[in-house]
Amino acid sequence: MPAAEAGNTQGGVFQRLERAGLAATRALSVAGLIALMVLAVMTLLDGLARWLANQPIEGVRDIGGLAIALAVSCCIPVGLMERSNITIRVAESMVGPMLGKVLDALAALLVAVVMVALAWQFTVFAGKIARANETTWILHIPTAPFWYGVAAILWSAVAVQCVMVVLEVGRLMGRFEHSHRATG
């Protein structure tokens, strides 16, 4: 197979990988947004119950913190996949596009390292919560499963960022071109 055809085949693999990752992370972010919407409805109902009956709905605050943690973590992978982080393009415009590609690849690697540290720390935190048998204050719901869920979602963000590292290295090597913001 000629080199040009091999490059097109690899580019197709990279593009399919990027599209699949984008679809999966968008689905996860929808789950996070649904969790936020449920929390918003619960908060609204709690406020109405306080106003109309002077009786709050017990446990809304208990569930609120956990729902927010899950919802925020659900949106991190799509942010990584869509490259919606802040990017400064000074080096590329001053020195050339190759330096920009090198810096993009290094930045992707650095973000992956930070995501590993974050996911690891949430895993450790969830383990401590599980060992302590912590529960919510009012409803006495065990909180460790929620924090393990957050950790699992962060580990999925690590996987997404590893894909981004591969894509940036592929771009650096001239095997794949992509926009700086994936459009799906």
Domain-located, residue 40:
yes
Q: Does position 88 have pLDDT exceeding 50, yes or no?
A: yes
At residue 4, the pLDDT reads: 46
Q: Does position 172 have pLDDT exceeding 60, yes or no?
A: yes
Domain-located, residue 50:
yes
pTM value is 0.82
Burial 49-63 (b: 16+ CB within 10 A, else e): eeeeeeeebebbbbb
Beta bridge partners of 135: 142
User: Residues 6 or more apart from 155 whose CB is under 8 A from it?
Assistant: 119, 123
- Residue 164, CA distances (Å) to 20, 80, 106, 111 in order: 12, 8, 11, 10
Closest CA to 172 of 116, 83, 92, 94: 92
DSSP label of 56: P
Euclidean distance between CA atoms 138 and 60, whole angstroms: 9
Listed in sequence order, the DSSP H helices in 54-88 are 60-81
What mean pLDDT is predicted for residues 109-130? 97
What mean pLDDT is predicted for residues 42-58? 93
User: Residues 6 or more apart from 134 whose CB is under 8 A from it?
Assistant: 142, 143, 144
Phi, psi (deg, nearest 5) at residue 65: -65, -40
Which carries the bigger pLDDT value, residue 18 or residue 90?
18
Domain-located, residue 159:
yes
**5-43 tens-digit pLDDT:** 445 555 677 788 888 889 999 999 999 999 999 999 999
Domain-located, residue 181:
no
Q: Does position 61 have pLDDT exceeding 70, yes or no?
A: yes
Closest CA to 158 of 105, 114, 107: 114
Domain-located, residue 184:
no
At residue 183, the pLDDT reads: 46
What mean pLDDT is predicted for residues 96-101? 80
Give the pair of three-digit tokens for residue 63: 């569930």
At residue 36, the pLDDT reads: 94
Domain-located, residue 65:
yes
Domain-located, residue 67:
yes
Q: Does position 90 have pLDDT exceeding 90, yes or no?
A: no
Q: What is the mean pLDDT of the chain?
A: 86
Which runs of E-coded beta strand occur in the chain?
Answer: none
User: Contact, 126 vs 73, CB < 8 A?
Assistant: no
Most confident of 38-52, 77-91, 112-126: 112-126
Domain-located, residue 177:
no
- The domain of 96 spans 3-172
Which carries the bigger pLDDT value, residue 98 or residue 131?
131
Tally the domains of the chain: 1
Q: Does position 57 have pLDDT exceeding 60, yes or no?
A: yes
User: Contact, 134 vs 145, CB < 8 A?
Assistant: no
